[in-house]
Amino acid sequence: MKSLTQKAEVAYGWLVKAEDFLQSPFLLAIRAYWGWQFLQSGIGKFSHIDKVVSFFTDLGIPAPTLNAYFNASLETVGGILLILGLASRLIAVPLVINMIVAYITADREALTTFFSEPKNFFGADPFPFLLVSLLILIFGPGKLSLDTLIAAKRKKRAQAATP
């Protein structure tokens, strides 16, 4: 008869295997959906760039035209890279910064009431984009990504080159 400790170890082992099995599909789903959202947001900004420039001007963002094009480009390219799982952690850094700037400039009240009224922070438009960018930055793109495929090919080449 197995002791309670042995049963706990078996259960924990099963849990770790389930976690490994579910992590990559979960990260793929997150990347695909929110990458698509970033892509759509970037394309939408390009489609209405005059409105974005005007909005950035009203917010007091310096060089509003340059920043509007930069923001639209970052979201478009960032969305594509997230979908593909290519340079995922690298693109997550400017996306996180972009969403923090969005809070500071466009949703300042949500940011300043984080402790007193957290629902404002979590309900603000930048929140899910910030959360996804942080998830990918911290956990990476998962095994179902071009990043993983490229890393595996590099490892295989390095092993083949080693005598």
Of 98, 76, 85, give the one whose Cα is nearest residue 31: 85
pTM for this predicted structure = 0.86
3-class SS letters over 12-38: HHHHHHHHHHHHHHHHHHHHHHHHHHH
**Packing angle, helices 49-59 and 64-84, rounded to 10:** 120
3-state helix, strand, coil in the chain (%, to 5): 85, 0, 15
Domain boundaries, the chain: 11-161
Residue 19 confidence (pLDDT): 67
For residues 120-127, give the mean pLDDT.
Answer: 96
For residues 120-148, give the mean pLDDT.
Answer: 96
Tens digit of each residue's pLDDT (9 = 90 or more) over 55-83: 999 999 999 999 999 999 999 999 999 99
Report the helix count and the strand count for the chain, using DSSP H and E.
8, 0
- At 141, the pLDDT band (50, 70, 90 cuts) reads very high
- At 4, the pLDDT band (50, 70, 90 cuts) reads confident
